[in-house]
Structure 1
Amino acid sequence: MNPLKKNNAKLFGASGKTTLVFAHGYGCDQSMWRLVVPDFEADYQILTFDHVGSGGSDEASYDFDKYNNLSGYATDIIELLEYCQLTKVVFVGHSVSAIIGALVAIKRPDLMGKLIMIGPSPCYINKGDYYGGFDENDIHEMIDTLESNYLGWSSYITPVIIGRPDKPEFADELNKSFCTNNPEIAKHFAKVTFMGDNRADLSKVTVDTLIVQTSPDIIAPERVGKYVHEQIVGSDYYLIESAGHCPHLTAPEETIRIIKDFI
């Protein structure tokens, strides 16, 4: 299938200029970038898309074997960039897409000029000396709850992800996004996201990289962001003093400024 159609991709902005690729996190779609993207349209070409199984993507293209790890999503992005004949893009990935972007950078560094990772976590589970923010039992309990009551879990987790009780409209929006996705696909993507371990991949990233961390962030705590920064040699690190896991929604002005400063 045409990658543009499969991923509900949109290419717009300043044609012929450097391309910024905006990749959404778990349970979301490309609309989550709407407060950020307009500030770049005049000077950059923009590519937004939905991961297969999310938003307006082609749900029939979802393959449970292919997407049993994040490499399947990285392959989709490589196919999308090749189809659009794009190289040296600036990839802006939120949450799980930050790690997916790292995998793209490792597989095809020629396609990526810069990597911006917003709220990345290579492993959510505490393992040995590594702090991911969650004990393994916590993750298993979360997955069990998700399996038995996906809609109830969505209503609980989305305010936690947004992390801003003063902005309930964003938690409501995120919850609606979660609830519009196919529950079986959403459950599978959650397992892949929260039970994965991509720590060993970080040291293989060689492109210019910026890690953007919010504080406090329950989903990807500050220690995790600093770990990612330490593992990617030569990377830059920026801390936004704003609560929650979605600064592109709750702190868009600072997110825009950080991206512009880096590129």
Structure 2
Amino acid sequence: MFAHGFGCDQNMWRLFAPSFAERYQTILFDLVGAGDSDLTAYDRVKYSSLHGYAADVLEIVDEFATGPVIYVGHSVSAMIGMLAAIKHPCRFAANVMIAPSPFFINDRPYEGGFTRADIDEMLRTLESNYLGWSSAMAPPIMGAPNGPELGEELTNSFCRTNPEIAKHFARVTFLADHRADLVQVTTPTLIVQSDDDVLAPVGVGHYMHARMPTSTLAIVKNVGHCPHLTAPGPSRQATEAFLDNLGL
């Protein structure tokens, strides 16, 4: 089961998911408010926290899965999957977190990558000029060395998202703090971390790994926050090795 990150849609898995479809039933979907989802289903109260999205994940599992799922989530969706697995661990055989972060804000000794002032300024810019924010932020998120095409693709993906929904989801995403939930995880979990990520520094991966007793940390050589797109080979290999070790 593949879940995309902020401002993206299920197409972002096109270089990662197909190899798994040969051996698994695969489920791809768009978060409510993204991609081709039904925008009328967006409820600002329900989605005022990541728990609303976690409830959707559990509904999809109930509807389409024939047994415990291997959940693969990118960025904020990694945390959404974690919350779903904490609530109903029996429905998850494993979680794979691609570039996750439980909290984006520095809170010493925790280093999330941004000060609160940084996040507040980013959200103000997003509120006042969403398209400008998208154009400015997409290239560093994707990783400049990976070429302008992928940066443009992410920009276009951001711009296809309903601006009002994107602004709300951004606030929920970048202000969420799920550090205290890490110790509740019982599902075997792989953390795939880029060695150079502007949104999720390497220290975040080590922090999560130290607090999740069932976790494995794989650091891949990659610049940017989307290793499933910019380093799909190493990310797949880390995932394959993790699943093989679990007998899955």
Q: Same fold (TM over 0.5)?
A: yes
Higher mean C-alpha displacement, 117-126 vs 164-173: 164-173
More helix, by proportion = 2
2: CA distance between counterparts of 1:111 and 1:46? 15
Q: Does 1:53 align with 2:33?
A: yes
Q: Does 1:81 align with 2:61?
A: yes
Secondary structure in structure 1 of the residue aligned to 2:37: coil
TM-score scaled by structure 1? 0.91
1:30–1:49 Cα contact (<8 Å) kept: yes
2:113–2:199 Cα contact (<8 Å) kept: yes
Q: CA offsets per residue over residues 129-149 of structure 1, 9 Å max, x none?
A: 211110000000000000000
- Residue 96 of structure 1: aligned partner: 76
Q: CA offsets per residue over residues 195-224 of structure 1, 9 Å max, x none?
A: 110111111000111111001101000001
Q: Does 1:116 align with 2:116?
A: no
Q: Does 1:173 align with 2:157?
A: no
Secondary structure in structure 1 of the residue aligned to 2:213: coil
Pick aligned residue for 2:187 from 207, 210, 214: 207
2:185–2:214 Cα contact (<8 Å) kept: no
2: CA distance between counterparts of 1:112 and 1:189? 25
Q: Does 1:195 align with 2:195?
A: no
> How far did 1:261 drift?
1.2
Q: CA offsets per residue over residues 122-178 of structure 1, 9 Å max, x none?
A: 000111321111000000000000000000000011011111334211110011010
Number of equivalenced pairs: 243
- Residue 246 of structure 2: aligned partner: none
Secondary structure in structure 1 of the residue aligned to 2:199: coil
Secondary structure in structure 1 of the residue aligned to 2:154: helix
2:3–2:77 Cα contact (<8 Å) kept: yes
> How far did 1:78 drift?
0.3
- Counterpart code for 1:63: D
1: CA distance between counterparts of 2:17 and 2:96? 14
Pick aligned residue for 2:197 from 208, 211, 217: 217
- For structure 2, the 5+ residue unaligned runs are 244-248
Secondary structure in structure 2 of the residue aligned to 1:211: strand
1: CA distance between counterparts of 2:83 and 2:177? 12
- For structure 1, the 5+ residue unaligned runs are 1-20
Task: After the TM superposition, list the runs of 4 or more consecutive aligned residues in structure 1 that deviate by more than 6 angstroms.
Answer: none
> How far did 1:85 drift?
4.1
1: CA distance between counterparts of 2:218 and 2:75? 15
TM-score scaled by structure 2? 0.96
- Residue 186 of structure 1: aligned partner: 166
1:87–1:110 Cα contact (<8 Å) kept: no
Pick aligned residue for 1:136 from 93, 101, 116: 116
* Residue identity (%): 52
- Counterpart code for 2:86: I
